[in-house]
Amino acid sequence: MIGYATLGTNDLPRAAAFYDALLAEVGAKRLWTADRGIAWGVSMDKPSLAVMKPYDGQAATPGNGSMIGLVVLEPQAVNAVHAKALALGGTDEGPAGPRGDGSFYCGYFRDLDGNKLNVFCMPSAAG
C-alpha cells in the first residue's frame, strides 16, 4: 500500500551520507537524486524512502508522533542497522531488542535531522 515515505532535511549532503551508509545495511541504494532530494530503495516498484528539502523553502522539522519503520528479516539485522545509525551520529530512542511477547524485535533511533525511525522484524513470522 505505501509507495514511499519522505523525511525532511535542512542539510541534504549530510542526510545523503547518513542514509547512503545506513540503507546499504538493508540492501537499498539510491533510486534517484534531484536538487532538493534523494530516494533510496531496492527497486522502483517497491516502497522507498526519500529525504527532501521542504518545497515551501521553510526549515524542515521532525514530525511529533511521526516515525518510519524499516523492515528486515532477522534480529541480527535489527542490531546491525540500529548500531549503524548510532555510529553515523543518530541518537538512540530505544535499544534493539524484543518487545511485548517477543514477536516484535526492534530498535528506535533519530537521524541527524531529528526524524524518528525504527528498524524491526517479526522473528516468530520467519518461522
Question: Which domain covers residue 83, as residue numbers?
Answer: 4-126
* CATH assignment of the domain containing 20: 3.10.180.10
Tally of domains in the chain: 1
pLDDT tens-digit readout, 34-90: 999 999 999 999 999 999 999 999 999 999 889 999 999 999 999 999 999 999 999
Radius of gyration of the chain, Cα coordinates, nearest whole angstrom: 14
Cell of 96: 534493539
Give the three-state DSSP class for 6: strand
* Predicted structure pTM score: 0.90
Strand ordering across the sheet containing 68-71? 68-71, 116-121, 104-110, 91-99
Amino acid at residue number 123: P
By DSSP bridging, strand 48-52 and strand 68-71 are: unpaired
Q: pLDDT-derived band of residue 126, with 50, 70 and 90 as boundaries?
A: low
Could you read off the pLDDT of 95-105 as tens digits, one per residue? 999 998 889 99
- Judge whether residue 125 has pLDDT over 90: no
Q: What is the DSSP string of 23-47?
A: HHTTT-EEEEE-SSEEEEES-TTS-
